[in-house]
Structure 1
Amino acid sequence: MATGAEGAMAPVMAFALVGALGVGAQWLAWRLRLPAIVLMLLAGLIVGPATGLFDPARDIGDLMGPMVAIAVAIILFEGGLTLNLHSLRDAAPGVARLVVIGAPLGWLLSSLALHYVAGLGWATSAVFGGIMIVTGPTVIAPLLRQARLARRPAQLLQWEAIVNDPVGALAAVLAFEVVIVLASPLSPGDAAWDMVRGIAFALVLGVLAGWGISAAFRRALVPEYMKVPVLFAVLLGAFALSDWVLHESGLLAVTVMGLVIANADLPSYAEMRRFKEHATILLVSGVFILLAANMKVETLAMLDWRAAAFVAVMVLIARPVTVLASLAFSRVPWPERWLVALTGPRGVVLVAVAGLFGERLTSLGFEDGARVAPLAFALVAATVVMHGFSLAPLARALGLAGAQTPGVLIVGGSRFATALGEALKRAELPVLIADPNRARLSRAREAGLPTFYGDILSETAEHSVELVSYGMVIAATDNDAYNTLVATDVAPEFGRENVFQLKRAKQKSRRHALPATLGGRPIGGGHGYYEMNRLMTEGWRIRLTGLTEDYPLETWREANPESVVLGVIAPTGALRLVADSDEDLRAGEGSSLLSLSPPDEAQAEAG
């Protein structure tokens, strides 16, 4: 490994190590179904204070401060960009209370806990307390997917995290500006005027930058391939300019800029947001590794009994009091109130912003600013681990858990969709059949299957359908183009390996053929919609066949040569749909086969 003097790592190698550790930890967490933030914390501590292999201050030097500041700015811009006010109006009514009442109350209780329990000064407590409003949108989403909550409590937790993400950062910025004023050699009047002028400039600059980007994109003044680069260039410019006018006000400017763009109804918003999310994952993991590796052994030694008591007070007192007071006299049922009150994981945004402001406070002469980062790490690690294991059991105890086994969302109300839905229902798996044509859902309704009348890609579906209960999607309408659109649109959320569609009809002209790179995986034995409908009319059936030691998969294949395997249900109840290209099919004893079978084979088994 290339190193310099006194064991210092080459900067290029240091950057590569940060990227490998951050992305590697997130991938490993996905494979092990563990909170990614915990593995990133362990990775950073191992290569940093534990082994001394990587020291950001030594190996990166003066670049670390600006890098973390820019990364935090982009992360907060992402927070503002997720805050679509139109979607917020459709969310659960308790969200407004959790923000309007909960944010100030949470700020107050967090500051009190930091001062009286953790032993920080009032200035540091006020700044750090503002950051602690954030409940971690990057952590809440995977926890909700794992716990499979019912839609309304999941909305409460998700929207609280999304909205409070920029609110907490802004609270910290305002508190920090007040601290700067108090520490400034200027007269109180001059210092206050500088702060007000800087904050006003940041607000105006953020609004103008967001409006300018939106107007330029809407009027096609920027080509499509340059939209993301232009967006990031304007973002960095707004951050730097605002920061030059008033230190740290750039965070406020970029958050406001993101909020303006999020509510501009841009046609390219989804693509920009998707790319931005990818960049944010890299930045979040990089910042977390850097901050964890930059911890010193003597700093970690500050985590004494007061730190443990502080974490306990935040989890057991401050969070429940904040939520219960915010939702008092509301229509939110008590079980949902308790679930939200006992669930408040903190995430990477808290650590990133806390680490940034901790350094700033220390440089201003507040010695207790050095304790901000280790306290943030302790709170994040404790809440993520605790809620990662407690959320699902708590939801089940309160009767707020969704289906334990992810089901199948079928788009299209055909004979095939109804028959497949009935088979999944017999296997006790959640199933939903959606179609924008009400008449096509009549067969599914008669069979007692859950249905959704409307476009599954609409905002109504987003807020009415508990998508968290479904792990797979089958696009099976009579419109190949629509099937391809659905499969392509939902693939980033469900994972491309979990999105399927019926085979497209062959196009006589290549100019009418859809690209093979779009859409989902093929299912149904190579049959398209009309051919599948014909088979169902001729008596083909969807069968559910259990495999035993005496009746293994090989025996089933010999007895059913024409049947098409659609999926395998494991003994645990987990479903794996089978694409037409999956040649290596494995199904052992205790599994069940979901198959499409001709009349003679279906009758033979029934007999």
Structure 2
Amino acid sequence: MKETILLGAAVIIGLGIFSQWLAWRISWPTIVIMSLVGLLIGPGLNIVSPQEALGEFYKPIIAMAVALVLFEGSNSLNIKEINGVTKSVWRIITVGAFIAWILGSLAAHYIAGLSLGVSFVIGGIFIVTGPTVIIPLLRQAKLKPRTAAILKWEGIIVDPIGPLVALFAFEIVVVMQDHNGNLTDLAMFFVGAIVAAIIGVIVGIFLSYVVKKQYIPEYMTTPVIFAMVLLSFALSEQVMHETGMLCVTVLGVILAKSKHFISTMRDVDHFAENMSMILTSTVFILITASLKRETIMEVFSIEIILFVLAMLFIVRPLSIVIATINTELSFKERALLGWIAPRGIVALTVSSYFASIMKTRGFEDAELIPAITFALVFITVCAHGFTLSPLAKMLGLAHEKSEGLLIIGANKFTYQFASFCKQQNIPVMVVDNNAKRLSIFEENGIEVHHGQILTEEKRLEMDLTEYSKVLCMTDSFVFNLLSYETLSKQFGTNNTFLLPVYLDETYKDETIPEFMKSHLLFKESAVFEDLIYKIKHGHEIVGEVSSGSRKLSVHDDLDGTLLFIIHKESKEISMMTTNRTIKTEKGDMLVFLKSNENTQSQMIDIEGEGSLNG
């Protein structure tokens, strides 16, 4: 029996990760794939029933996973993300959430036919969107920064508020019932919510203090923080059910602020992000696989379908339109926000709790809560998952999928490199902390950023969604290494490259890891000083169309230095590195640095040959 449960758990985790990969591979929304996989192995084929297999451990496991996902989301918040749209964000998470609660409750009563008590409880549950569904969508849609920031903040902040609103509505219903409640219960609700928030604040400040004073060794920082998150969540749940999410959200916000002055806190981010990805996919499959066939069949009721349509086309648009009157948002931004509001794990987990306690209070129609919740979750996940990206592109609020290049370092070579990319309509941005070096780039219409890029705060101020690859090409190999280490965490190691400065300084250095050597640009002799020398003496960057299919590497006998390849069919860019072999097809463009005796050297005025973007 134990072995069967162990195998089942491993399979579900594996299916969760497989769902993420498959979604990436076929360009489908991740949450849609996870939902379909869960339904297939659960009520579809009856292969597994996680709730029955895990028994009394099922709900605690789900609850702790949700707590960690919420903590990761709130811990990633940065107030600079919403610079320029602060008013809109606060309006949406307050006025917008209130309007959505009222309108959603009325829709549940008059369209779905639920009693007023159940309607106002379910209306509170349905104001949530949540990081478990919105973050995967944002990761794929490549929205422009401020629109993405609004959806992210709404999802994270409102997620713990929704269950509290539902609990508040429930306490009101209890008070209004004869002999079943009193005002003391209502007062205890507010006390419980305040206590949960206070626990989050105290634990957050405590952790910030002990980490800053180094009372915890660095290698134990992440485990201690995650243990304290779970402990705080459990303690708040003991005080009052459904307040644990508020506690961990507040705790995450406190720790997010401390990252500005405690560098060790930043190490938590990468572990938390990876853990959140695993937990999100696993929990989504656990919940959907545990649904009963009867619940799924109830979804096809005409009343439930009409209710979901009302939530999609009336409640959400009206709440956003009213909440964002006289704010910084444009009409197009309000239109997109008025459509996107997928529900996810929190709605599914919380609804079952309220369905059970309301049935014990005599509300027979509460048994419909799981079916209505699943209908709203599944339909919004599919509708918003498939439409977010195309709608955002149509409204001009997302970047087209592109192989943009982010170049670190302004010098003669990167000027020629960026100019060629611009001619080929490849998005390119050059970053340097020297304004004089960047002036020639700006004069020729090349996108530039003056300042640092290695700090997270500075990158938040930049719109980097167009760029998929980073080329570190300054005159300091130490800085190139530092840039590689920092930016590879955001762009991925396969999309981050660096350029050696002097011949033999890198290739024979045993301190450089082998995996990093595979990301050294161009051939071994094409180091920074060599490229600058060639540019000064008449070499130029040119493109040649491949006449057939072949495999190329920097070791081949080629006329010139092969820099990169633009694939005709996929429009992808393959950077040449010291040990890479790339297959080309007919029509692909091969980009070389070649000598041209008939071309005079362009004497561009760039102070120095690189940069130190401190």
TM-score (norm 2): 0.87
Aligned to 1:296: 292
Q: Distance in 2 between matches of 1:449 and 1:354?
A: 52
Aligned to 1:453: 450
The number of residues matched between the two structures is: 595
Any conservation in 2 of the 1:95–1:159 contact (CA below 8 Å)? yes
Aligned to 2:244: 250
Task: State the SS of the aligned residue for 2:568.
Answer: coil
* 1:112 alignment partner AA: L
| Residue pairs, 1:25-64, within 5 angstroms | 25-64=19-58
| Residue pairs, 1:439-478, within 5 angstroms | 439-458=436-455, 461-478=458-475
Any conservation in 2 of the 1:501–1:520 contact (CA below 8 Å)? no
- Return closer, same or farther for 1:290/1:403 CA change in 2, 3 Å cut-off: closer
Any conservation in 2 of the 1:407–1:472 contact (CA below 8 Å)? yes
Aligned to 1:523: 521
| Alpha-carbon offset, residue 215 of structure 1 | 0.8
Q: Select the residue among 111, 115, 128 that pairs with 1:117.
A: 111
| Residue pairs, 1:32-431, within 5 angstroms | 32-89=26-83, 91=85, 93-175=87-169, 187-265=181-259, 266-303=262-299, 304-355=301-352, 357-358=354-355, 361=358, 366-431=363-428
Aligned to 2:603: none
Q: Distance in 1 between matches of 2:206 and 2:174?
A: 31
Q: Select the residue among 528, 545, 565 that pairs with 1:568.
A: 565
Q: Distance in 2 between matches of 1:236 and 1:479?
A: 44
- Return closer, same or farther for 1:89/1:407 CA change in 2, 3 Å cut-off: closer
Any conservation in 2 of the 1:173–1:249 contact (CA below 8 Å)? no
Any conservation in 2 of the 1:108–1:129 contact (CA below 8 Å)? yes
| Alpha-carbon offset, residue 272 of structure 1 | 0.6
Q: Distance in 1 between matches of 2:356 and 2:490?
A: 37
Q: Distance in 2 between matches of 1:589 and 1:29?
A: 30
Q: Distance in 2 between matches of 1:49 and 1:22?
A: 17
* 1:116 alignment partner AA: Y
Any conservation in 2 of the 1:92–1:155 contact (CA below 8 Å)? no
Q: Distance in 2 between matches of 1:437 and 1:230?
A: 42
| Alpha-carbon offset, residue 378 of structure 1 | 2.7
Q: Distance in 2 between matches of 1:215 and 1:522?
A: 41
Unaligned regions of 5+ residues in structure 1, if any? none
- Return closer, same or farther for 1:295/1:556 CA change in 2, 3 Å cut-off: closer
Aligned to 1:544: 543
Aligned to 1:13: 7
- Return closer, same or farther for 1:461/1:221 CA change in 2, 3 Å cut-off: closer
* 1:273 alignment partner AA: D
Q: Distance in 2 between matches of 1:16 and 1:184?
A: 49
Any conservation in 1 of the 2:565–2:588 contact (CA below 8 Å)? yes
* 1:411 alignment partner AA: I
Q: Distance in 2 between matches of 1:528 and 1:587?
A: 24
| Alpha-carbon offset, residue 531 of structure 1 | 2.8
* 1:375 alignment partner AA: I
| Alpha-carbon offset, residue 597 of structure 1 | 2.6
Q: Please, which moves more after superposition, 83-92 or 221-230?
A: 83-92
| Alpha-carbon offset, residue 67 of structure 1 | 1.2
* 2:544 alignment partner AA: T
* 1:216 alignment partner AA: V
* 1:587 alignment partner AA: T
Q: What are the superposed Cα offsets for residues 298-349 of structure 1, whole Å, 9 maximum, x if unpaired?
A: 1111102222212211111111111111221223222222222233333444
Aligned to 2:486: 489
Q: Distance in 1 between matches of 2:19 and 2:552?
A: 43
Any conservation in 2 of the 1:242–1:250 contact (CA below 8 Å)? yes
Q: Distance in 2 between matches of 1:530 and 1:28?
A: 44
Q: Distance in 2 between matches of 1:602 and 1:140?
A: 53
RMSD: 3.3
Q: What are the superposed Cα offsets for residues 411-452 of structure 1, whole Å, 9 maximum, x if unpaired?
A: 111222111111111111111111111122123223321111
| Alpha-carbon offset, residue 138 of structure 1 | 4.3
Q: Distance in 1 between matches of 2:189 and 2:156?
A: 27
Q: Please, which moves more after superposition, 19-28 or 552-561?
A: 552-561
Q: What are the superposed Cα offsets for residues 53-94 of structure 1, whole Å, 9 maximum, x if unpaired?
A: 101232221111211122222222223323334544465642
| Alpha-carbon offset, residue 135 of structure 1 | 3.0
| Alpha-carbon offset, residue 115 of structure 1 | 2.6
Q: What are the superposed Cα offsets for residues 541-563 of structure 1, whole Å, 9 maximum, x if unpaired?
A: 222222345xx658999997242
Task: State the SS of the aligned residue for 1:482.
Answer: helix
Q: Distance in 2 between matches of 1:202 and 1:185?
A: 29
Q: Distance in 2 between matches of 1:557 and 1:200?
A: 64
| Alpha-carbon offset, residue 297 of structure 1 | 0.8
Q: Distance in 1 between matches of 2:257 and 2:118?
A: 34
Any conservation in 2 of the 1:327–1:337 contact (CA below 8 Å)? yes
| Alpha-carbon offset, residue 19 of structure 1 | 0.9
Aligned to 1:588: 585
| Alpha-carbon offset, residue 35 of structure 1 | 1.1
- Return closer, same or farther for 1:403/1:64 CA change in 2, 3 Å cut-off: closer
Q: What are the superposed Cα offsets for residues 251-294 of structure 1, whole Å, 9 maximum, x if unpaired?
A: 22222222221222332222212211211222212211111111
Q: Distance in 2 between matches of 1:28 and 1:153?
A: 26
| Alpha-carbon offset, residue 195 of structure 1 | 2.5
Aligned to 1:502: 499
TM-score (norm 1): 0.88
Q: Please, which moves more after superposition, 222-231 or 254-263?
A: 254-263
Q: Distance in 2 between matches of 1:532 and 1:521?
A: 17
Unaligned regions of 5+ residues in structure 2, if any? 601-614
* 2:254 alignment partner AA: V
Q: Distance in 1 between matches of 2:12 and 2:247?
A: 28
Any conservation in 2 of the 1:299–1:374 contact (CA below 8 Å)? yes
Any conservation in 1 of the 2:507–2:517 contact (CA below 8 Å)? no
Any conservation in 1 of the 2:554–2:579 contact (CA below 8 Å)? no
Any conservation in 2 of the 1:72–1:353 contact (CA below 8 Å)? no
Aligned to 1:578: 575
Q: What are the superposed Cα offsets for residues 562-589 of structure 1, whole Å, 9 maximum, x if unpaired?
A: 4233222222462322241554312212
Task: State the SS of the aligned residue for 1:194.
Answer: helix
Q: Distance in 2 between matches of 1:232 and 1:365?
A: 40
Q: Distance in 1 between matches of 2:171 and 2:481?
A: 51
* 1:580 alignment partner AA: T
* 2:100 alignment partner AA: G
